[in-house]
Each structure stands twice: as C-alpha cells, then as structure tokens.
C-alpha cells in the first residue's frame, strides 16, 4: 500500500482546504512567545474569550471588523495538527472563574487552538467568489518560555555556551548560588573517561541552580530550558550535561573522555530537541507576539533586569523574519508582523503606560531596527490580558495622585501607587533609590461568566495582527 492509499478522502479535502485558505490569505499561524511568567497562558485564554464574546458583550472598540458590523462570529474548530495537545482553554477559564479567582497554570508543553473568524469581506474579487461571508482560520500556538530560550543555542558551540555561563558566574550572587555544582564539577577531569554517575550528579545540581535562578532571583536566561521543564525526557542522558566553566577546553577531545561526552550530548540536545522544535513550529509562523514582563525584573534588581536585556537580545536573533507573499505562505511562511507587548500593564497607573512602552522599545531596539529595515510591520504596546485592578485618583499633600485598587495573591485588599516606571533602562544607582518602582502581584478580578473579561488593549492587538486579513 502506497502513502497515497493511506490518506483518506477527508484528509485530502482538509489539506486542499488548507492550501486554498493559505493561497487566498485566509490562514494565519500566530506564535505567542515570551519568557517564563510573562503571561502567555492568560493572554491566549483572554484572547479566545474576547473573540467568542465578540458581538455579544465584547470590549473591543478598536477592532475595526467588529465596529464596522462585518464580523459574523468566531468559534473554535478542530485543529489540523492532531499530534499537538490542544491549548487548555477550559482549564484557563475555570481558574479565572474560581472563588477566589486565580491565574491559569503556566505553559508546560507546546499546544495550539484553532479559531474560525467569519466576516463579510470588502475585497473586490473575493466578494464575488464568496458573496455571503469569508473565513479566516487562526491557529494560535503556545509553548513554554523555557523552551524558547533554547533557540539561541542553535547558533552556539559548546565552547561558546560554556563561555556565556562563565560570564554569568561573574555575578557574585549567581556564583554563590552555584557553589554546589561548581564544587562537584571541579572534581571532574576533562581528559578522564566519562563517569556517567558523577556527570549525572553535577547535571542534577546544575538543574537545581537553574530553578533557583528562575524562582528566587527572577532571571530569564535559563538554559538549557528542557532541564527545568523536561516533559517526557526526564531522566534521559541527553539532559545530563553541564557547561565547562573550570578552565579551558582541550582543542581536540579524546574519544570516550568527559569532554567528548559533554560535547556529544550538547550537540545531540540541539539537534534532536531544539532543531526539531524550531523546524516543526517556528518555521511555519506568519505573525508573532512577544510578551515581555518588564515590571518584575525592575522589582527583582539590577541583575534580573540586565539578564532580561541580554535574553531578549539573544532571542531576537533566532526568529525568522521576512515579508510574506502568497508563494511564501504556501511553501515557506515568514513572520511579517511582529508585536512586542509589555504585559501586566494594569499593575501600573495609566499615566505610566507611556513610560512602560518607551522602556520596552529600548529593551528590544536591536530587533526593532532589524525588523523595520527588512520591511516588517512592528509595534510595541502596553498590555493587560485580564485587567486585575481599578484606577482611582486620591488627594495627597494637596494634589491628585493616580492609584491602583486591587487584591494581592494572598487575598489582601490594597490601595497604592506603585511608583514611576523608568522610560529608559535605568542606571545602576536606580536600585539604590528608596522611591523606585514597586511591583505588587495582583489576583484576577471577580467577573460574571458569559461576559467579556476586562482587559487593556487586546482590541489593538487584534487590529494590528489580524486587521489586514479581515478586509
């Protein structure tokens, strides 16, 4: 039996429909990317909920297809990639509806959800082909921020990666936290035969250090990402290696030596996990939104903020940008619209949103310039997928001050002014100031199921990413 015989007629029809949709520019794959804890899961949950409510109780005044009366409806439809888990939309809504409400669980594996957007077209040709309505099929793809951070490894040798980690350890706080795995690794010899048990112990200690850097120090550059979120590869030998930071590497590793094994596992990890992930997902994206939490690193300190700067610079080199046309959509899609979103914008007062936007632009200026040069439509926006607080003006020392009113994760009602957000990356002395910005994490608001979630600028996100596809 040939491959052609194995493909059923419904599958052929499905593939033909996909081809037609891509040819007519009626299929968009949207990558929701971002670092760990940037709010990807909450963003997708809120976005789908707003779309399902469009036309009923939606809060999308800047989405032109809705405001012009051309939107007919949005619904979830079966995804095409049957081997990829479906995004846990129901679980995310359940978390937001809980008593007390809570934020959805973070992303732990790649997932996707497909929507069909029905609308009346304004296109002079398509209007005659489909007089009643047109459809845009939107595939939204989510994946762990930890896996995203592996992409820069594709451009690195084992030596380069080891040098990068060695540079990180110049920070006294990071070196102090790394004492255990540094001591264990110092007992190893590059030229000696590889001791699997000893290497496994060092790798386990290194993994604990990565967890500490992420959870306790608020760092973003956590590599390799699969170490902290291994999924089905937990315990696999390809996750048992470490960077060599105890001196120079040998120019040529002897077969069977520790150095040979370290280099072999690093290369295997890149080829079988990172490269495969890149080819399967990133190469097919049309549009991209990058969520960036600028506020928590400001709170965590200078090391966390500089780490965020470095991480974003590395990531932006990994994405494949280029103007799209119908041939590329069919055979080699490229990202032709890129949106950077400063998440959790509701945690600052409205008068600070401009500063937050400027800060984000400074953080991504390198990617911003390259994308603009290549003709890519690019924008920066402050965003809150789910607005968790109210804004009030109070009188303080004879003047009106903007404040936030919400509930902390522990359930404490707060009324505060978090401070000013710097419009540019701050200098070192910023973190010695007593009146600098203070981030307070808030829980989601209570809301009535069946109504649209409160948000900030989701309608502008939709217009930027999809507006041209809904003409």
Q: Assess contact for 177 and 209: CB atoms under 8 A.
A: yes
Task: Give the three-state DSSP class for 281.
Answer: coil
292: Cβ–Cβ under 8 A, 6 or more apart, which residues? Answer: 34, 35, 38, 308, 312, 340, 341, 342, 343, 360, 363, 364
Q: How confident is the model at residue 248 (pLDDT cuts 50, 70, 90)?
A: very high
Sheet holding 413-416, edge to edge: 390-396, 399-407, 413-416
pLDDT of amino acid 281:
75
User: What digits encode the pLDDT tens for the residues 20-47?
Assistant: 555 555 889 999 988 778 899 999 999 9
pTM for the whole structure: 0.86
What does the alpha-carbon distance between residue 432 and residue 429 come to, in Å, rounded to a whole number?
5
Q: How confident is the model at residue 352 (pLDDT cuts 50, 70, 90)?
A: very high
60: Cβ–Cβ under 8 A, 6 or more apart, which residues? Answer: 50, 54, 66, 67, 458, 459, 462
Q: How confident is the model at residue 3 (pLDDT cuts 50, 70, 90)?
A: very low
Residue 313 structure tokens: 């610079």
Q: Which helix (H) or strand (E) holds 94?
A: helix 89-97
User: What digits encode the pLDDT tens for the residues 140-194?
Assistant: 999 887 787 888 898 899 999 999 999 999 989 899 999 999 999 999 999 999 9
Cα 425 → chain centroid: 21
User: What digits encode the pLDDT tens for the residues 205-230?
Assistant: 999 999 999 888 888 888 999 999 88
Neighbours of 393 (CB within 10 A): 11
Helices (H), 237-376: 258-269, 276-280, 295-300, 302-316, 326-331, 353-363, 365-373
Residue 286 structure tokens: 């049309």
Higher per-residue confidence, 171 vs 122: 171
Neighbours of 120 (CB within 10 A): 17
DSSP secondary structure letter of residue 19: H
DSSP string, 364-427: THHHHHHHHHTT-EEEEEE-BSS---EEEEEEETTEEEEEEEEEBTTS-EEEE---PPPSSPPP
Residues of the chain with CATH 3.40.50.300: 27-143+285-388+447-470
Residue with tokens 């105890």: 246
Measure the CA angle with vertex 442, ends 436 and 448; round to 5°. 145
Which CA distances in Å does 77 have to 116, 117, 146, 282, 470? Answer: 7, 10, 28, 22, 18
Fold designation for 27-143+285-388+447-470: Rossmann fold (3.40.50)
pLDDT of amino acid 132:
64
User: What digits encode the pLDDT tens for the residues 57-87?
Assistant: 778 999 999 999 999 999 999 998 888 899 9
**Average pLDDT of 296-305?**
88
């Amino acid at each position: 039996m040939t491959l052609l015989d194995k493909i059923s007629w419904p599958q052929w029809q499905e593939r033909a429909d996909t081809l037609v949709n891509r040819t007519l520019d009626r299929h968009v794959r949207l990558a929701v990317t971002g670092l760990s804890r940037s709010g990807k899961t909450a963003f997708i949950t809120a976005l789908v909920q707003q779309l399902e409510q469009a036309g009923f109780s939606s809060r999308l005044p800047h989405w032109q297809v809705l405001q012009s009366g051309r939107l007919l409806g949005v619904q979830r439809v079966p995804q095409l990639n049957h081997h990829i888990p479906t995004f846990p939309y129901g679980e995310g809504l359940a978390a937001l509806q809980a008593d007390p409400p809570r934020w959805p669980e973070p992303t732990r594996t790649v997932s996707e959800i497909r929507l069909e957007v029905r609308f009346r077209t304004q296109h002079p040709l398509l209007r005659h082909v489909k007089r009643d309505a047109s459809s845009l099929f939107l595939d939204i793809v989510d994946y762990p921020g930890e896996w995203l951070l592996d992409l820069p490894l594709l451009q690195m040798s084992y030596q380069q990666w080891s040098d990068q980690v060695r540079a990180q350890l110049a920070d006294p706080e990071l070196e102090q936290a790394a004492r255990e795995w540094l001591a264990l690794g110092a007992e190893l010899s590059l030229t000696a035969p590889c001791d699997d048990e000893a290497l496994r112990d060092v790798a386990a200690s290194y993994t604990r250090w990565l967890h500490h850097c992420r959870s306790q120090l608020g760092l973003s550059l956590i590599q390799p990402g699969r170490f902290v979120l291994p999924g089905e590869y937990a315990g696999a030998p390809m996750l048992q290696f470490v960077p060599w930071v105890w001196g120079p590497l040998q120019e040529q590793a002897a077969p069977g030596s520790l150095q040979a094994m370290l280099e072999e596992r690093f290369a295997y990890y890149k080829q079988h996990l990172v490269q495969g992930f890149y080819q399967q997902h990133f190469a097919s994206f049309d549009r991209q939104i990058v969520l960036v939490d600028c506020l928590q690193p400001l709170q965590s300190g200078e090391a966390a903020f500089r780490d965020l700067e470095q991480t974003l610079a590395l990531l932006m080199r990994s994405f494949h940008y280029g103007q799209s046309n119908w041939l590329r959509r069919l055979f080699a899609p490229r990202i032709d619209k890129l949106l950077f979103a400063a998440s959790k914008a509701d945690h600052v007062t409205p008068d600070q949103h401009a500063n937050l936007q400027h800060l984000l632009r400074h953080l991504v200026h390198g990617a911003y310039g390259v994308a603009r040069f290549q003709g890519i439509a690019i924008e920066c926006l402050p965003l809150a997928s789910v607005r968790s607080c109210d804004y009030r003006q109070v009188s303080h020392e004879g003047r009106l001050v903007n404040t936030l009113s919400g509930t902390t994760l522990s359930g404490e009602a707060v009324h505060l002014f978090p401070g000013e957000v710097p419009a540019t990356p701050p200098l070192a002395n910023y973190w010695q100031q007593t009146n600098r910005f203070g981030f307070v994490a808030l829980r989601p608001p209570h809301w009535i199921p069946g109504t649209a979630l409160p948000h900030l600028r989701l309608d502008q996100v939709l217009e930027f990413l999809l507006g041209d596809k809904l003409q």
